[in-house]
């Protein structure tokens, strides 16, 4: 039933008479509120008892409002067990304080919409290739939003892999594996609500333009926000705890049947974490995972792995990484990574490289694509403490360097303590490997391992270690044009090792004399 704002407020406080409870279409448009008509799902038959499947009532409210040009579908306090909710254009789902949309457990084949066919599903994981097998989904919609102080709890959703005691059947009939899935939509706002156990993706947005995600707290059992083939995206003021997978993860897959670039993206004022028990960030207790979980920690902001189109015009600023993997930019399927600015980042307890950049040639997509490019990247004002021994990794390919990279004003602190044997390591290229910082094994550097790069500037950077570490602070291999300015390195270790380096410039670095060395250089400083 569509009611005005005063009725909504009174209803949420339990101050309306019982006569307002039923589905009354005759009164549905009687008193539109100042911001448009409001449909209370209880007036369409929702029980909110956590047991009754309320999907039919919710869908009636959505369809009724959509048929009248759009409006707000209101969820008052209560627990609304649901299967798939199908969004419509010009609809807002408003989750009031105390309202929970609960992903119900499927019963046999009864449950969520079936995953739709996708002729390009071989080029990305199953989860990226389908949207309809979700708690909430929409396709080819415009002007939609989910707002309010309520909760979306994906309790009955699968992770897609059957791991960690979540739903064992990852993809069977009736199974849902995403909390929110949007495809080819325009004008999307997600704001203020909370998410718990979102399945494979708490949010999968594919081909969504003009997307805003603001002040959403997501405490989830796999990926947080996957932003795939999207343009004009703002992610602000969000907290994402995702110990089993990535937190905020722009991608550029082939799921839409074309290599569509993810571009014009800002991520700001967010916290990503990867080492807290699921539910404890939402609950405010922030309980850490057991110590033996450390090798599995995820979290982080990562661009990739699906990279058919690539990423362009990206800004990341004022973000915190708490016990997670570090910041990652990847292109391994032929896409571009260019025009990137990163600044004001704080990390602690970083697992597997504070900064990881990889230009590879996995080429998971239609045949005939060229190897991608990575260029024009500016990273500044980064502080990282207590990171594990793996250094920041910048790794291109022979003949396909990472280009035009500037890193400045950073303090990178690692636990140190590597054995002396690591100083002589010569890592394999691993051109086809899955792009993660440990893909090259242990590395002969404490701060930066840079291979196959051109026009690299590192300035006003300090590399520090908690325990003595014999490795060089910076290792350059096949680098054409490197400017090093005012670098501080751990006492007792080599500052720099070079292999096939040309046009090296040094200024105000205590471990080597000022000047320009045209090269080629193969030596330690």
Give residue-wise pLDDT tens across range 199-251. Answer: 999 999 999 999 999 999 999 999 999 999 999 999 999 999 999 999 999 99
**Hey, what are 196's tokens?**
């718990």
Taking only the tens place, the pLDDT of each residue in 134-155 is 999 999 999 999 999 999 999 9
43 conformational bin, left if phi > 0, alpha if psi -120 to 50, beta if neither: alpha
Whether 113 contacts 137, CB under 8 Å: yes
**CA-derived radius of gyration, the chain:** 25
Residue 464 pLDDT exceeds 50: yes
What pLDDT was estimated at residue 35?
55
What pLDDT was estimated at residue 520?
87
Whether 8 contacts 32, CB under 8 Å: no
| Cα angle 45, 50, 55; round to 5 | 45
**Hey, what are 219's tokens?**
């405490």
Helix (H) or strand (E) holding 180: strand 178-183
Beta bridge partners of 339: none
Residue 25 pLDDT exceeds 60: no
Q: What is the pTM of this model?
A: 0.92
Taking only the tens place, the pLDDT of each residue in 345-401 is 999 999 999 999 999 999 999 999 999 999 999 999 999 999 999 999 999 999 999
Taking only the tens place, the pLDDT of each residue in 147-177 is 999 999 999 999 887 665 655 555 667 899 9
């Amino acid at each position: 039933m569509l009611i005005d704002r005063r009725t909504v407020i009174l209803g949420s406080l339990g101050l309306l008479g019982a006569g307002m409870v039923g589905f009354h279409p005759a009164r549905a448009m009687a008193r539109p509120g100042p911001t448009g008509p409001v449909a209370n799902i209880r007036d369409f038959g929702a029980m909110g008892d956590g047991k009754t499947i309320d999907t039919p009532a919710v869908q009636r409210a959505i369809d009724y409002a959509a048929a009248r040009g759009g409006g707000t579908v209101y969820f008052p306090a209560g627990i609304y067990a649901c299967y798939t909710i199908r969004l419509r254009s010009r609809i807002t789902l408003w989750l009031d304080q105390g309202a929970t949309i609960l992903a119900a457990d499927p019963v046999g084949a009864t449950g969520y919409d079936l995953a739709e066919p996708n002729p390009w599903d071989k080029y990305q994981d199953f989860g990226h290739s389908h949207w309809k097998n979700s708690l909430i989904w929409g396709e080819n919609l415009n002007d939609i939003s989910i707002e309010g102080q309520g909760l979306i709890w994906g309790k009955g959703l699968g992770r897609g892999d059957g791991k960690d005691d979540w739903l064992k059947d990852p993809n069977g009939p009736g199974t849902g594996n995403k909390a929110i899935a949007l495809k080819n939509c325009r004008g999307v706002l997600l704001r203020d609500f909370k998410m718990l156990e979102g399945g494979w993706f708490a949010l999968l947005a594919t081909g969504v333009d003009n997307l805003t995600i603001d002040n959403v707290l997501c405490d989830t059992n796999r990926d947080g926000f996957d932003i795939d083939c999207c343009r004009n995206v703002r992610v602000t003021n969000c907290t994402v705890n995702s110990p089993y997978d990535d937190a905020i993860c722009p991608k550029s897959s082939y799921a839409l049947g074309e290599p569509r670039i993810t571009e014009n993206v800002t991520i700001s004022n967010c916290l990503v974490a990867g080492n807290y028990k699921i539910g404890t960030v939402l609950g405010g207790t922030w309980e850490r995972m057991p110590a033996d979980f450390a090798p599995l920690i995820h979290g982080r902001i990562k661009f990739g792995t699906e990279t058919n189109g690539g990423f362009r015009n990206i800004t990341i600023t004022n973000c915190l990484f708490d016990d997670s993997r570090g910041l990652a930019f990847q292109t391994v399927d032929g896409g571009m990574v260019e025009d990137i600015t990163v600044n004001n980042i704080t990390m602690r307890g970083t697992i597997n490289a504070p900064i990881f950049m990889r230009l590879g040639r996995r080429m998971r997509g239609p045949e005939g694509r060229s190897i991608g490019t990575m260029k024009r990247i500016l990273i500044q004002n980064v502080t990282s403490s207590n990171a594990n021994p793996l250094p920041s990794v910048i790794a291109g390919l022979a003949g396909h360097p990472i280009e035009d990279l500037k890193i400045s004003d950073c303090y990178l602190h690692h636990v140190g303590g590597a054995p002396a044997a690591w100083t002589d390591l010569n890592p394999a290229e691993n051109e086809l490997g899955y792009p993660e910082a440990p893909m090259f094994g242990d590395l002969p550097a404490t701060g930066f391992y840079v291979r196959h790069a051109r026009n690299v500037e590192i300035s006003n950077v300090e590399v520090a270690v908690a325990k003595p570490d014999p490795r060089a602070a910076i290792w350059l291999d096949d680098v054409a044009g490197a400017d090093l300015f005012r670098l501080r390195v751990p006492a007792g270790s080599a500052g720099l090792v070079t292999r096939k380096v040309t046009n090296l410039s040094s200024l105000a670095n205590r471990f080597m004399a000022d000047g320009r060395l045209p090269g080629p250089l193969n030596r330690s400083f």
